């Protein structure tokens, strides 16, 4: 996002410098042949014209950049949502689900809206809650393998899954959890 904003700002700056330089030279040439009041009127018109033209240009550039950003976000979101391995994004502090992919919904059997009202602790046997809290306290930036953990599916089935946790470099409040079912 920073590079898109920088590109737009640089284009705006370059357009402004070129407009001011070239239009002022043209007005200086006209000053010799027309009335000063007319030159001042033209100067005002060129200023208003610059604001209007660059406003439309900025609008188009921002719109184009926003579309590209949305397309990129959709692409990366599909890597999560369409992944065949159950995955979810949770709060590192509360372990509450903030997003679950379709594989998690189908495999574990909880409807998405129910999933999003639960925490990771809700799908663990009671005796595994404290060990899971301890395990999450120790995760560090990057990928963490937490080992095999039992999960309770909606139908009551208990299945062991290999948990991998990814803690991003920036903003480790939300983390990605991948749950690969063990044979």
What residue spans define the domains of the chain?
Answer: 2-80, 85-181
Q: Could you tell me if 158 and 150 are in contact, meaning their C-beta atoms sit under 8 angstroms apart?
A: yes
Q: Say what the pTM is.
A: 0.67
Whole-number pLDDT of residue 171: 66
Tokens, residue 144: 């963490």
Region 105-125: mean pLDDT is 96
Residues 85-181, CATH architecture? 2-Layer Sandwich (3.30)
Q: How far is CA 46 from the centre of its chain?
A: 39
3-state DSSP assignment of residue 73: helix
Q: Which residues on adjacent β-strands are paired with residue 97? A: 90
Whole-number pLDDT of residue 107: 95
**Pick from 125, 169, 118: which is nearest to 148 by CA?**
125
Whole-number pLDDT of residue 89: 95
pLDDT surpasses 60 at 1: no
> What is the Rg, in whole angstroms, of the alpha carbon atoms belonging to the chain?
29
Rounded to an integer, what distance in angstroms lies between the CA atom of residue 167 and that of residue 144? Answer: 8
Whole-number pLDDT of residue 112: 95
pLDDT surpasses 90 at 57: no
Q: Which residues on adjacent β-strands are paired with residue 148? A: 162
Total residue length of the chain: 183
């Amino acid at each position: 996002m920073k590079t898109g904003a920088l590109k737009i700002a640089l284009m705006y700056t370059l357009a402004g410098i070129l407009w001011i330089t070239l239009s002022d030279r043209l007005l200086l040439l006209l000053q010799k042949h027309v009335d000063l009041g007319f030159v001042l009127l033209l100067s005002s018109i060129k200023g208003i014209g610059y604001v209007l033209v660059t406003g439309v240009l900025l609008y188009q550039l921002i719109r184009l950049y926003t579309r590209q950003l949305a397309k990129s976000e959709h692409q990366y979101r599909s890597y999560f949502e369409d992944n065949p391995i159950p995955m979810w994004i949770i709060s590192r502090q509360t372990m509450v689900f903030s997003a679950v992919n379709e594989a998690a919904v189908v495999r574990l059997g909880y409807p998405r809206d129910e999933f999003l009202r639960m925490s990771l602790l809700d799908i663990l046997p009671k005796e595994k809650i404290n060990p899971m809290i301890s395990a999450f306290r120790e995760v560090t930036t990057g990928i963490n393998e937490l080992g095999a953990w039992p999960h309770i599916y909606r139908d009551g089935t208990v299945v062991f899954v290999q948990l991998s946790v990814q803690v991003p470099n920036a903003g480790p409040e939300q983390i990605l959890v991948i749950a690969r079912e063990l044979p």
